[in-house]
Each structure stands twice: as C-alpha cells, then as structure tokens.
Amino acid sequence: GLLLVGDVVTDVVARHAKPLAPGTDTAARIRVLPGGAAANAACWAARSGCADVRLLGRVGAGEAAWHEAALRRAGVRPLLVRDPEAPTGTVVALVDGRAGGERTFLTDSGAVLRLAPADWSARLLDGVGHLHLSGYLFFAATSRDTAALAMADARERGVPVSVDPASTGFAGELGVDRFLAAVAGANLLFPNADEAALLTGLSAPEAAAAALSRRHRLVAVTLGAAGALVAEAGEVVARVAARRVRPLDTTGAGDAFAGGFLAARLAGATVAEAAEAGCHAGAEAVTVAGGRPG
Ligand code: ADP
C-alpha cells in the first residue's frame, strides 16, 4: 500500500464578475471543493490504479466527515485526525471571471500544520510499501517534527520515502538549506521546474534535476506542458513529453503527476514508465476543474 501524509484542505473557488472592490458582487459563482496537495495526490494514485491508498492528515472536527466521504469516493482510505480547535486548512481562490482574468489565492493552513508527533505511530506503516510526504508539512515546527518522525520510522523499516517540495515548505523560516537537510533521507523528490531552480540555484531543469539527484536517489522534475524528466544519481535518465490536451484548470497537475508516478512504481513500473503514468495523470488533471479526478 501507499501512505501519504500531509495537507487536506477545503478549496473555495470564487469566480467574480466585477473587479474586486468594496461592495457586493451578486453575480459571483462560488464552489467549495475538497483539496490539498497530499489529499489530491492520494486521489490520483487511486485513480491511477493503486488499490491501497491511505492518507494521514489533520482537519477541523466540523468538516472531517465531508472530507472523509470525498476521499472514500475517490478510493482513498482516510486517516484524519480531528482538531478540536483549529479549522480545516482553507484556500480561497478569487478568479476574475472576465477574459484573461487573474487569480488571487488566500491561504490559511489551519489544522494542517498542527499534525503532531502524537498523531503519528510507526504502526501506520504496517502493510505500507511507500511513504509520501507533502512539502507543506515542513512549513511549521509541529508538522515538520511529525514528518521527521515518519521518515525515521520508514527508514528503519526499509520503506522508501518521497517528498513533494512545495515551495511554501522551504520559502518560509526553514530556508532551502535546512529544508534539503530535513529531506535528506528521502529516496525521491517531485519538484516542479520552479522549485527545482529555487532548491539548487540552477535555472536549467536538467542541471537542477541532476544536482538534486546526487543527494536524493531519484528526482522527477515536472515541466508543465513540456512534460517531465527524471534524474538518478546525478544523471538525467528519462524524459517524457506531456500529453496534448486543452488545459481547463491546472490546479493539482503536480499532485496528479506524483500520484500517477507512485501508483506505477508500486505496481513495478520502471522510472520511465512511472514518469509516463505521471504525465498521463497530470494531463487528466489539467482538463478537469479543481485538483482531483473528475
Ligand atoms: P505543478 O502543478 O506542480 O506546477 P506542472 O505544471 O509541472 O506541476 O505539471 C505537472 C504535470 O502535469 C506535467 O509534468 C505534465 O505531465 C502535466 N501537465 C501540466 N500542464 C500541462 C499541459 N498544459 N498539458 C499537458 N500536460 C500538462
């Protein structure tokens, strides 16, 4: 099985018809969707054929049942800790509904960063063949300690670990160097091109992937509409083109790539085949609204 640990959030997508200004826009269209990088990746792993996907996260007590139901519908076994005080992490996306409209994101991590070491147990790894951690966990001390504990237990059991290094995870107080030290035990990283550049100071994705893969066995860098490349032990070992699709909403493309890649690896695929599966899921993700399988 595959265990993912990280963010489960509520996405509030508000499409406004007028420029934002004090007052009321009664023509706005607002949708509330289940999201979060770790939760989305879990759903895409299930969608990509992984039969045993589990997700550990922390949410506000009031919304837990709604998130659990959405995860179950997607084929994911939810392991959600109910926070008695903090609300579920929430992202408000303000989308200008007029042509060429901008997007503004307001984020409040809420219970996500309160996933505590006491919420973790090595027994969560029973029957697990791979552990995937969301980079958001590294943003705050409490969830970072939990991630460290999970990585240490996985290592002890010989369970491979991957991390999706969300830029928020290292752009904060931690910084790049301490982030890289914190994930030194990971066997696989999933940065997008921007994150790979920020982590290495190298703007060419090939060079960044190669450099990161010296420390981490495998590094899969996603390149949006240009596909993905994978480096291993200092060398680029696979390049995969993206599928040709008409993008509708790119939210969750990177999460989908990770989910597809991991599902394929757990099923015994080669690195190149896994990158293909990642691009397949990524292409599907950009053609559906929201960050989860349609
Ligand atoms: P992130 O969402 O983390 O920034 P990317 O934008 O690199 O990640 O997208 C992840 C994967 O999704 C890419 O490797 C690619 O396979 C797929 N993808 C993203 N954008 C497109 C697109 N416009 N057309 C086809 N596939 C895409």
pLDDT digits (tens, 9 = 90+) for 18-40: 888 999 999 999 999 999 999 99
pLDDT digits (tens, 9 = 90+) for 49-72: 999 999 999 999 999 999 999 999
Q: What is the pLDDT of residue 183?
A: 94
pTM: predicted TM-score of the whole model, two decimal places? 0.96
Q: What is the pLDDT of residue 224?
A: 96
Domain span including residue 191: 2-8+36-87+109-286
Whether 294 is covered by a domain: the verdict is: no
Whether 71 is covered by a domain: the verdict is: yes
Structure tokens given for 92? 């408000």
- SS3 category, 202: coil
Percent of the chain having pLDDT more than 90? 87
Cβ of 168 below 6 Å from ligand 1: no
Whether 24 is covered by a domain: the verdict is: no
Answer yes or no: is pLDDT of 172 > 80: no
> What's the CA-to-centroid distance between 120 and ligand 1, angstroms?
32
CA distance linking residue 103 with residue 93, whole number of Å: 7
Q: What is the pLDDT of residue 292?
A: 95
Answer yes or no: is pLDDT of 3 > 70: yes
Taken in order 67, 70, 73, 75, the sign of the CA dihedral is negative
Structure tokens given for 271? 């690195």
Residue 179 gets which letter from DSSP?
H
- SS3 category, 174: coil
Domains in the chain: how many in total?
1
Pocket test for ligand 1, best of 48, 286, 287, 288 (most atoms within 8 A of CB): 286
CA distance linking residue 143 with residue 86, whole number of Å: 14
pLDDT digits (tens, 9 = 90+) for 175-194: 999 999 999 999 999 999 99
Whether 21 is covered by a domain: the verdict is: no
Residue nearest to atom 8 of ligand 1 (CA): 254
Residue nearest to atom 1 of ligand 1 (CA): 254
Answer yes or no: is pLDDT of 169 > 70: no
Whether 212 is covered by a domain: the verdict is: yes
Pocket test for ligand 1, best of 44, 194, 257 (most atoms within 8 A of CB): 257
Answer yes or no: is pLDDT of 103 > 90: no
Averaged pLDDT for residues 269-289: 96
pLDDT digits (tens, 9 = 90+) for 202-233: 999 999 999 999 987 899 999 999 999 999 99
CA distance linking residue 104 with residue 166, whole number of Å: 18
Cβ of 110 below 6 Å from ligand 1: no
Domain containing residue 235: CATH number:
3.40.1190.20
> What's the CA-to-centroid distance between 60 and ligand 1, angstroms?
31
**CB under 8 Å to 234, separation ≥6 — which residues?**
210, 211, 213, 214
User: Measured in Å, how far apart are the chain's first and last C-alpha atoms?
Assistant: 23
pLDDT band at 113, cuts 50/70/90? Answer: very high
Whether 22 is covered by a domain: the verdict is: no
